[in-house]
Structure 1
Amino acid sequence: MSVIDCVYLPADKVVFPPELALLIVRKASAMAAAFEEQALDQLTKDARRALKHGSDPRRVIRAMRL
């Protein structure tokens, strides 16, 4: 048996409904927006804490890889 003849390869192509694709894209977009908001909040919180403790802003920039 060659690699190409393996039974785990799909024989038929699955028709992907456009409505399902659209819903997946919308869900992924909403998830990305929520993640972006959380990341922004966390980065801002971390930067404020570092500045409050007397860190130099340039050091904070380097530490956060901005």
Structure 2
Amino acid sequence: MAKRRILPGIDIVYDSEELSFKCDGEPIEDMEFTWEDMKDPALLAEVAEELAEYLDEEAESIDNPVAVKKAKL
């Protein structure tokens, strides 16, 4: 499986069949999808919303400079 960092502390792990999101190496619950799932615009919007909520909830416990700057605003 390939891995790509999308935000500090947040990686997307993928292969030819599926993709998932991880935070500091641990899977983010309910964030595993097939490539077919990603063709659904409503699901993509939900994924973005869930990821944003996760970052807000976990801002103190992960190395996340984006959330730190957001909190200072």
More RCO (CA 8 Å, sep 6+): 2
Structure number with higher helix proportion:
1
Determine which structure has more spread, i.e. the larger CA radius of gyration. Answer: 1
Q: How would you bin the TM-score normalised by the shorter chain?
A: 0.3 to 0.5
TM (norm. structure 2) is 0.31
TM (norm. structure 1) is 0.34
